[in-house]
Amino acid sequence: MAQLSLRGITKRFGAVTAVDDVSLDIASGEFVTLVGASGCGKTTLLRIIAGFTKADAGELTIEGKRVEGVPPSKRDVGFVFQSYALFPTKTVADNIGFSLSIRHRPKAEIAERVKELCSLTQLSGMEDRYPHELSGGQQQRVALARALAPNPMILLLDEPLSALDAKIRALLRSEIRAVVDRLGITTVYVTHDQEEALSISQRVAVMNEGRFLQVGTPMDVYLKPSNRFVANFIGISNNLSGRPIDGGQVEVEGRPVQARVPEGLLGRDSCDLCVRPENIDISRPSDGSDAMAGKLTSFVFLGQMVRARIATQAGQELVVDTSTSHWLANGLAVGDPVAWSIRPDSAIIFAPDDASGSAADEDPAPGAS
Ligand SMILES: Nc1ncnc2c1ncn2[C@@H]1O[C@H](COP(=O)(O)OP(=O)(O)OP(=O)(O)O)[C@@H](O)[C@H]1O
Ligand SMILES: [Mg+2]
């Protein structure tokens, strides 16, 4: 049985449908992330689970019991808000112990729990400091410890790391995952950062305009996006056009590419391909190769890899990721002709101008390349 179950959850604010018929079962101890662009309904859905916002329709159960009308304090749910919202005039210890002190737990028990949580979240020695005496990362740890203090069954985290710089974010997300795994707490995590979603989660729900477009493991949503929106939102995707030849081949710019063509597209005169930058190979053109032709338009060095942009002969723009060693071996300069090819069975094929094969029919994500 799912520990947390959403069935047809819908919430409208006037003309805006913030959450639109969302269903999901989350198992005990599972770590699920809601990922989507700003305004897609992530916070609203989290607030509905916590009980701060009432859904207009749908059913929400925790441990099999419907919780409509149950106040947040009685739902056994911990919440870390989008802003840390620490009490500025309380110390770290008093912030963490707050929920226990309003429940009139004995002082010794609170002190013991605070000590335990400080050690778990690497705050030991900072108990007597005030929030303004802490770094952003430390304040975030206090917010996490405070949410964990009453030992909730479910933990909800709303973009807890968005105010931090990239390095501390990467560190803290692995800390958060380690802490909740150790405690076995069911966690729903919200972020608009797809890399964060892939790295921290057991399952990812990709949201757009209040709906779930795909729910799956990080590898599933990256390698097998169920529609074009997901392909473009999770990671970078090159969108190319081609023509299905048979079940295992597509013609792209006059050359055959090995790819799995969905049955419904056989016999059609065109299809769209989504290809990840790491699944395109480029090299100097050589005689007799059946690679496609193009020209290097720009590149950036990113350390272990080089991200290049090429213009194909047919005028399509592609992003290509190449290992730095391969790049150096090629010795390409901007303006040089290149040969490019798509790795066998790496392209994901969709019907043209129709995002799916599935229910969704959204345009590619704005800003996605
Ligand atoms: N209390 C409210 N009254 C009116 N509209 C609201 C309210 N809360 C949210 N909305 C609207 O509902 C939609 C979803 O908002 P929500 O805060 O859930 O988005 P989000 O995915 O958390 O975005 P972000 O990543 O920016 O935090 C938005 O269009 C927002 O303007
Ligand atoms: Mg939000």
Residue 22: CB within 6 Å of ligand 1?
no
The predicted pLDDT at position 244 comes to 96
Cβ-proximal residues to 39 (8 Å cutoff; 6+ apart), any chain: none
- Do 242 and 336 reside in the same domain of the chain? yes
CATH number of the structural domain spanning residue 326: 2.40.50.100
Q: What token pair was written down for 92?
A: 């770290």
The predicted pLDDT at position 363 comes to 38
* pTM for the structure as a whole: 0.87
DSSP category for residue 234? S
The predicted pLDDT at position 354 comes to 55
CATH number of the structural domain spanning residue 86: 3.40.50.300
Q: What token pair was written down for 215?
A: 């729910």
In a domain, 65, yes or no: yes
43, 81, 196, 208, best to mutate for ligand 1 pocket (most atoms within 8 Å of CB): 43
In a domain, 97, yes or no: yes
Q: Quote the domain boundaries for residue 344.
A: 238-350
The predicted pLDDT at position 23 comes to 98
In a domain, 67, yes or no: yes
In a domain, 365, yes or no: no
The total domain count for the chain is 2
300-317 burial, b at 16+ Cβ within 10 Å, e below that, comes to: eeeeebbbbbbebeeebe
42, 47, 48, 49, best to mutate for ligand 1 pocket (most atoms within 8 Å of CB): 42
> 305, 321 in Cβ contact below 8 A?
yes
Tell how far the Cα of 42 is from the centroid of ligand 1, in angstroms: 8
Profile the chain (369 residues) by mean pLDDT over runs of 10 residues.
95 97 97 96 96 96 94 91 86 95 93 93 93 90 91 93 82 90 95 93 97 97 92 93 95 94 93 96 86 95 97 95 95 96 95 54 36
- Do 130 and 8 reside in the same domain of the chain? yes
In a domain, 357, yes or no: no
- Do 243 and 216 reside in the same domain of the chain? no
92-110 burial, b at 16+ Cβ within 10 Å, e below that, comes to: bbbbbbbbbeeeebeeeeb
Tell how far the Cα of 44 is from the centroid of ligand 1, in angstroms: 6
**How far is the C-alpha of 159 from the C-alpha of 80, rounded, in Å?**
8
Query: Listing from the earlier edge strand, what are the strands of the sheet with 238-246?
Result: 255-258, 249-252, 238-246, 271-275, 348-350
> 315, 236 in Cβ contact below 8 A?
no
The predicted pLDDT at position 361 comes to 36
- Do 201 and 287 reside in the same domain of the chain? no
- Do 122 and 253 reside in the same domain of the chain? no
**How far is the C-alpha of 158 from the C-alpha of 293, rounded, in Å?**
46
